[in-house]
A = this chain, B = another copy of it.
Amino acid sequence: MRAEEALRKISNEKPLVHHLTNYVTVNLVANTTLCVGALPVMAHAHEEVEEMVSLASALVINIGTLDPIFIEAVLLAGGRANERGIPVILDPVGVGATSLRTETAGRLLSELNIAAVCGNAGEIATLAGLAAEVRGVESLAGDAREAVTRAAGSLGVIVAATGPTDYVSDGERTLDVSNGHPLMGRVVGSGCASTAVVGCFAAAAGGADAEIIAHALAYFGRAGEVAAEGAEGPGTFEPRFLDALAMLAANSEGLDGSLRVKEVSG
């Protein structure tokens, strides 16, 4: 499935996307989900998280501000999502920075059936067992293309690394996405928001493959290109970016033609 079809399905079905996410970028994640055309919900109480995920069409897990209570909520929600067969997307924020993050990502990947992992180059390199430079939750270097291919192969899930060029791999096939704009990297939470869009597309498709994830990221990058026109900096870029996501979602006809997704040879 490509972007136009996914956005059309989201617009028609208004799927509920359940986010277990961090408190830094949660508002951007919620507004991004709504601009794409899906309905966001955030609920973490152990008493209700399984019941809420039972209403959802996808679960997005972002460990940006994890702690033991949060991890338990993730395991409960993820278990229920797996029982129901809805896609579970993982953003392993800060993996490699602390052992809690590295161990938690490993635990989630082993205990849950994750449809796709979306992170920055450093995080994905860490998951692939490659050297990476991570500073806190920011990735400073790393060969994203090799990282996604290796991580997808070893973890057996679809893996995406976002950056100036995004890479998506299912272990056999690797796609690159060259839509985007440098201002996206200057807004806190643009990575979290891109994973939210992946969650919305996976909700529409009822699952994840490399193609739909690449198209989710390409649509996200295309919105960044549109938003950058007229933005005077990262502050005014952010509201324009939400406008662009909403505008492209509402006028998706012909969108696929402006998305630059291509198969990486070899």
Interface magnitude class on chain A: 35 or more
Check A39 against B246 for contact (C-beta < 8 Å).
no
The interface residues of chain B lying within 8 Å CB-to-CB of A16 are: 135-136, 138
Check A232 against B236 for contact (C-beta < 8 Å).
no
Which residue of B27, B34, B45, B135 is within 8 Å of A234 (Cβ)?
B34
Check B24 against A55 for contact (C-beta < 8 Å).
no
- Asked whether A47 is an interface residue with its Cβ less than 8 Å from the other chain, the reply is yes
A39 to chain B: closest residue by CB:
B138
Check B39 against A135 for contact (C-beta < 8 Å).
yes
- Asked whether A129 is an interface residue with its Cβ less than 8 Å from the other chain, the reply is no
Which residue of B31, B41, B137, B234 is within 8 Å of A35 (Cβ)?
B234
Which residue of B27, B35, B138, B187 is within 8 Å of A24 (Cβ)?
B27
- Asked whether A188 is an interface residue with its Cβ less than 8 Å from the other chain, the reply is yes
Check B31 against A187 for contact (C-beta < 8 Å).
yes
Q: Closest Cβ of chain B: how far from A86's Cβ, in Å?
A: 13
The interface residues of chain B lying within 8 Å CB-to-CB of A166 are: none
Give this chain's copy count: 3
9-residue interface stretch from A60-68, A111-119, A201-209: A60-68
CA distance A95 to B263 in the complex (A): 46
CA distance A66 to B43 in the complex (A): 8
Check B51 against A99 for contact (C-beta < 8 Å).
yes
Q: Closest Cβ of chain B: how far from A22's Cβ, in Å?
A: 7
Q: Closest Cβ of chain B: how far from A116's Cβ, in Å?
A: 22
Instruction: Fill in one digit per residue for A67-86: 1 if any B CB lies within 8 Å of its CB, else 0.
Output: 11000000000000000000
9-residue interface stretch from A144-152, A157-165, A168-176, A237-245: A237-245
The interface residues of chain B lying within 8 Å CB-to-CB of A191 are: none
A250 to chain B: closest residue by CB:
B233
CA distance A34 to B234 in the complex (A): 9
Which residue of B31, B52, B247 is within 8 Å of A97 (Cβ)?
B52
CA distance A36 to B121 in the complex (A): 23
The interface residues of chain B lying within 8 Å CB-to-CB of A35 are: 186, 233-235
